[in-house]
Structure 1
Amino acid sequence: MELGIGIGWRPEIADAVEALPGIDWVEAVAENLCADHLPASLVRLRERGVTVVPHGVSLGLGGADRPDAGRLAGLAARATLLGAPLVTEHIAFVRAGGARTASPVLEAGHLLPVPRTWAALDVLCENVRVAQDSLPVPLALENIAALISWPDEELTEGQFLAELVERTGVRLLIDVANLHTNHVNRGEDPATALDELPVEAIAYVHVAGGVEKDGVWHDTHAHPVTGPVLDVLAELRSRIAPPGVLLERDDDFPPPAALAGELDAIRDTLAARRAGAPRPAPRPSSAGPPAPGTARTVRPGNGAGDPEALRDRVAVAQTALLSALVAGTPAPEGFDHRRLGVQSRALAAKRADVVAKVAPELPEILGRGYREAFLAYARSRPMSAGYRRDALDFAERLLIAGLPADEAARRRLTHWWQDRAAARPPRRTAQLARAARSVLAGR
């Protein structure tokens, strides 16, 4: 299906997205949509004939456990509600622990890389097939950006993606910004990855901005798209005309004119490469996907052994890594300790930022002390049940410790926590009475 040029729809820029010229389609984060009704902005876009694709972030198809049936049903419901031609997710794991490791479930709050090994690929492929059977439309999977590398990987990114497509028939969502990120952070050549993966399986392409700090590229989705990212897009365009290309922006949204300018830069890159040199010859690769007509080499682990034992081994490895990142346990052998530290700090910072968004009253009540207090809490309290629960747990820990020191702020925090932790929210009259008592108490 030809999608054209699109942009990530976010509530903060909904009006701007509707007004942007030349938008053929939009992508919306599936978990931010209700399963039974749509925001008015998306309704208007659909009435104009704009395609809307739901983009999932929480399935964790690269994890050791099979996909959760409830999460799959929710993604399917959103696809049906939107009349979407496909749905997308990520090649990543987002949680670990649980019954397979007899340990608490840990949530990363982020997309973490799957080891490029035959064992991890076996688990991923089965999870993808489960998801495909549960969804009403085709599934496409996105390559992710990473700060860290797993030790003893057996496949390159392109080879891993090629094997995944060969075994499952899944489509690909190629993020060129993520290819650039992995070039800076892990020394992986984007052109080589594009040579090795099956470009004909690409459903669409993501383009996003980031920033480099101390030699590490951070895929922020909060900065302008850079020249090197557009260069990777040009590399991809030299191989195939992608059915769709989408600009992602998740934070620090610029004025509409700046978004329009980034979209124009994407269009110019695609047009220039289309009119330029022919597609370069693929680089030879001794371990890459076979040429047409040749036999595929069966590698150790391709469907061999006990599937549950395989999942258990993957679970132990992923739990050890995630625990080191969010709970301060020792780093697993073979990992770069400095990079693990960078990733750990980035996860905590993202967690603080997202909690501030889902519970904006907390930074309002705590003022400048919010971030320091939250990061101190996060060091000893891994997230286990999502950001809203995280916000409640953070507030509870502060109150148990007798914080904040200011009595009025502590009273406001107490009321905030009580309103949200109760089984049923207080009625309007109770809220007004409480507010009146707070005013009187503050005199």
Structure 2
Amino acid sequence: MELGIGIGWRPEIAETVERLPGVDWVEVVAENVCPGHLPASLTRLRERGTRIVPHGVSLGLGGADRPSARRLADLAERAEALDAPLVTEHIAFVRAGGPLTASPVLEAGHLLPVPRTWDALSVLCENVRIAQDSLPVPLALENIAALIAWPDEELTEGQFLAELVERTGVRLLIDVANLHTNRVNRGEDPSAALDALPVEAIAYVHVAGGVERDGVWHDTHAHPVTQPVLDVLADLRARVCPPGVLLERDDDFPPPNALSSELSRIRETLRMTPGPAAPERTEPERTEPGDGGAARDGDAREGVSVSPHNGGAVRERVAIAQAALMSALVAGTPAPEGFDPRRLRVQSRALLAKRADVVGKVAPELPGILGDAYRTAFLSYARNRPMHAGYRRDALDFVGHLLATGRPEDAAVRRRLTLWWQERAAPEPPRRAVRFARAARAALAGIGR
């Protein structure tokens, strides 16, 4: 299925996306779309024949638990509402804990890398099969960027992806910016990963910008695409003509002409790179579980599988490892053995910053009410309080914490926060008359000061 050149649709650049020349398709964050109330811009794009692909961020298919039936149903509903040709998600885990570890469920609020081990691969494959059976269209999975590396990994990124495709038939969404990120942060060679990939399984490609600080590459999606990322795209293009290539931008949106220029650079990179000399692919060398890279063949190719006899034990091992890492990142517990504590601190700070940014977008009234104090107050609150139930609950808990501790000191600001919290903390939103009465009470209280 040929997609062409696309761009990530975001509300902030909706009108720009509609007007950009040469955009063949768009991708939308699945969780930001309400199937019964599609944004007018997406409706117009769909009506004029622009393909729309929902891109999920919350399934956590790399997690130790089986995927949520509700989340899968939500993703399926969005695929049908958008008449999508496929849906995409990530090879990542986003929450850990729960019954498998007899510990509270913690959420990262972002994508975390799964260990490239046979146990983790087996759990991921079963989760992918469950997802495939629940979705009305094909599924493609994206490789993610990582600030941290798991100790004692048994497969390279390319081997891990190749095994995943062979066992499940899932398509791949290859993010060349993430391959570049892993080169800087983990010393991994993008070309080696591409060499091992079943390139015929690629559904499409992501291209995005980032920035390097103190030797760490941050995949921000808020900076221009750099030449090293385009070089990885060219390396991929030399192996296969990807069915689609998409520019991602999530923040600090530039003027329309800058977005258009980035799309032109992507087109030029694809046009100027000679294609593969032959369609044949050399089968990557395979390894036995735990043999550190020796070739394997025959029935041993399946490695460890999640069967009725050992599935619980495999999932439990993965769950314990992921819960320990998650706790270190979001709850301040000691670094698990084998991890670089300094790099974990970098990842922890990045998760906190991401959490503050997303809460500010989910509840934009809060930065409006608190002004410049919002970010400092939120980071102080969140540093030792892990997220448990998503960003909207996080916003409510943050405001509840401020009010319970008598902050902020400005009484007028505190009243505005109280009204905001009251309107959202009830089982259902207050009716118009109730909101009007509360606003009137707040106004009278302000006059009486």
TM-score, normalising length from structure 1?
A: 0.95
CA-to-partner distance for each residue in 1:403-432, whole Å, 9 max, x for gaps?
111111111111111111012322223323
Give the drift of 1:380.
Answer: 1.7
Q: Secondary structure at the match of 2:140?
A: strand
Give the drift of 1:181.
Answer: 0.2
In terms of mean alpha carbon deviation, does 113-122 or 27-36 score higher? 27-36
Q: Tell whether the 8 Å contact from 1:185 to 1:217 is kept in structure 2 after alignment.
A: yes
1:301 aligns with 2:300: no
1:153 aligns with 2:153: yes
Q: Within 5 Å, which residues of 2 pair with 1:231-250? A: 231-250=231-250
CA distance in structure 2 between the aligned counterparts of 1:146 and 1:396, rounded to whole angstroms: 33
Partner of 2:87: 87
CA distance in structure 1 between the aligned counterparts of 2:347 and 2:245, rounded to whole angstroms: 28
Partner of 2:26: 26
Partner of 2:9: 9
Partner of 2:328: 324
Q: Tell whether the 8 Å contact from 2:159 to 2:284 is kept in structure 1 after alignment.
A: no
Q: Within 5 Å, which residues of 2 pair with 1:110-259? A: 110-259=110-259
Partner of 1:427: 431
The partner residue of 2:400 within 396, 419, 434 is 396
Give the drift of 1:85.
Answer: 1.0
Q: Secondary structure at the match of 2:107?
A: strand
Aligned length: 439
Q: Secondary structure at the match of 1:205?
A: strand
Give the drift of 1:281.
Answer: 11
In terms of mean alpha carbon deviation, does 143-152 or 373-382 score higher? 373-382
Aligned-CA RMSD value: 2.0
CA-to-partner distance for each residue in 1:373-401, whole Å, 9 max, x for gaps?
11111112100000000000000011110
CA-to-partner distance for each residue in 1:180-216, whole Å, 9 max, x for gaps?
0000000000001000111110000000000000000
Q: Tell whether the 8 Å contact from 2:198 to 2:281 is kept in structure 1 after alignment.
A: no
Q: Tell whether the 8 Å contact from 1:196 to 1:288 is kept in structure 2 after alignment.
A: no
Q: Tell whether the 8 Å contact from 2:306 to 2:314 is kept in structure 1 after alignment.
A: no
CA-to-partner distance for each residue in 1:258-282, whole Å, 9 max, x for gaps?
100000000000000037x858998
Q: Tell whether the 8 Å contact from 1:37 to 1:81 is kept in structure 2 after alignment.
A: no
CA distance in structure 1 between the aligned counterparts of 2:41 and 2:306, rounded to whole angstroms: 46
CA distance in structure 2 between the aligned counterparts of 1:180 and 1:207, rounded to whole angstroms: 10
Q: Secondary structure at the match of 1:101?
A: coil
Consecutive unaligned residues in structure 1, runs of 5 or more? none
Q: Tell whether the 8 Å contact from 1:118 to 1:299 is kept in structure 2 after alignment.
A: no
1:377 aligns with 2:377: no
In terms of mean alpha carbon deviation, does 426-435 or 148-157 score higher? 426-435
1:109 aligns with 2:113: no
CA-to-partner distance for each residue in 1:28-49, whole Å, 9 max, x for gaps?
1110111334211111111111
Q: Tell whether the 8 Å contact from 2:156 to 2:193 is kept in structure 1 after alignment.
A: yes
Q: Secondary structure at the match of 2:66?
A: coil
1:66 aligns with 2:70: no
Give the drift of 1:440.
Answer: 3.0
Indicate how the Cα distance of structure 1 residues 10 and 380 shifts in structure 2: closer, same or farther if over 3 A, else same.
same
The share of aligned pairs that are identical, in percent, is 75
CA distance in structure 2 between the aligned counterparts of 1:331 and 1:364, rounded to whole angstroms: 36
CA distance in structure 1 between the aligned counterparts of 2:25 and 2:7, rounded to whole angstroms: 7
Amino acid at match of 2:359: V
CA distance in structure 1 between the aligned counterparts of 2:236 and 2:278, rounded to whole angstroms: 9
In terms of mean alpha carbon deviation, does 302-311 or 16-25 score higher? 302-311
Amino acid at match of 1:123: V
1:437 aligns with 2:424: no
Q: Tell whether the 8 Å contact from 1:238 to 1:279 is kept in structure 2 after alignment.
A: no
Give the drift of 1:302.
Answer: 4.1
Partner of 2:273: 273
Q: Tell whether the 8 Å contact from 1:8 to 1:247 is kept in structure 2 after alignment.
A: yes
Q: Tell whether the 8 Å contact from 2:305 to 2:311 is kept in structure 1 after alignment.
A: no
The partner residue of 1:311 within 311, 315, 318 is 315
Partner of 2:349: 345
Give the drift of 1:437.
Answer: 2.9
CA-to-partner distance for each residue in 1:134-188, whole Å, 9 max, x for gaps?
1111110000000000000000000000000000000000000000000000000
Amino acid at match of 2:112: L
Q: Secondary structure at the match of 1:383?
A: coil
Q: Tell whether the 8 Å contact from 1:238 to 1:280 is kept in structure 2 after alignment.
A: no
CA-to-partner distance for each residue in 1:78-124, whole Å, 9 max, x for gaps?
11111111110000000001111111111111000000000100000
Q: Tell whether the 8 Å contact from 1:64 to 1:123 is kept in structure 2 after alignment.
A: yes
Indicate how the Cα distance of structure 1 residues 68 and 250 shifts in structure 2: closer, same or farther if over 3 A, else same.
same
Give the drift of 1:297.
Answer: 4.8
Give the drift of 1:303.
Answer: 4.9
Q: Tell whether the 8 Å contact from 1:192 to 1:283 is kept in structure 2 after alignment.
A: no
In terms of mean alpha carbon deviation, does 299-308 or 149-158 score higher? 299-308
Amino acid at match of 1:24: D
Amino acid at match of 2:22: G
CA distance in structure 2 between the aligned counterparts of 1:18 and 1:5, rounded to whole angstroms: 14
Q: Secondary structure at the match of 1:194?
A: helix
